[in-house]
Amino acid sequence: MDYTLNIKGQLLSLAEPRVMGIINVTPDSFYAWSRVQTEQDIARRANQIVAEGGSFIDVGACSTRPGSTPVSEGEEMERLRMALDVVRRELPYAVLSVDTFRPDVARMAVEEFGADIINDVGADPSMLRMVARLGVPYVLMSSAPTVEAVLTELASKVQQLRELGQKDIIIDPGFGFGKTLEQNYQLMNRLEQLLVLGLPLLVGISRKSMVFRLLGQEPQEALNGTTALHMVALTKGASILRVHDVKEAADCVKLAAALNSK
């Protein structure tokens, strides 16, 4: 499907899948090697994402890993202001996504730094109203456990967003959120069924426990497993891969494109 996103009035095509590189400005994200907290490290990571083939830079400042305690809204904003200022200074035209479940943080990121996408794990009604008001593309995630429940939840939230006037919606089935190991793989096996919603699909499985637990590894060992599942996701219709390892994901996109051209 040739989906497009309206990024500040310019249409960005998703006809070929895109890679979203992660920047975690947190001290407690589950994958320790993804944490960057100094201005120098943030600048280096942002430039690395673009150089390795990333189309989006996704900045998060509040860990949502299982068992974590979210920082205060003020602390999240302080971290984000520092990071977004660095990224905008380094790469002023990069497509910038902000990973937050708080409406006021989303508003700050869009109004102060021109964030292009809001990536939300919560889908709270107040956030739905906020993103519709801000008018930027929105990543809508489901924490439901089964394919049927994911479809039901996403369809309901999409309807609410449409009624609020939201234009660009990206759906995320929420791998690792509210699902057992087995349910994650059942969802991956039936991932193409989500395409019935007629919306671009984001897949975020990079180095998650569904990979490293199954293989008896730690997150830092889970690149090979992640890459294997990225190819599966692409063959099942994923439009965006949200990743720690941009080059390897971009290689998957190229290989999938070659397969689809034959």
Q: Copy the structure tokens of residue 138.
A: 């929105």
Residues 224, 211: Cα–Cα separation, whole Å:
9
42 conformational bin, left if phi > 0, alpha if psi -120 to 50, beta if neither = alpha
Cβ atoms of 158 and 201 within 8 Å: the answer is: no
- What's the rounded Cα separation, in Å, for the pair 173 and 88? 29
Give the chain's largest Cα–Cα span. 52
CA distance 161 to 167: 8
- Helix or strand holding residue 21 (H, E): strand 18-24
- Contact of 77 with 106, CB cutoff 8 Å: no
Q: Residue 32 is encoded by which pair of tokens?
A: 């320790």
Q: Could you give the residue numbers annotated as active site?
A: 208, 242
Q: Are 58 and 99 within 8 A, CB to CB?
A: yes
**59 within 8 A of 83, measured Cβ to Cβ:** yes
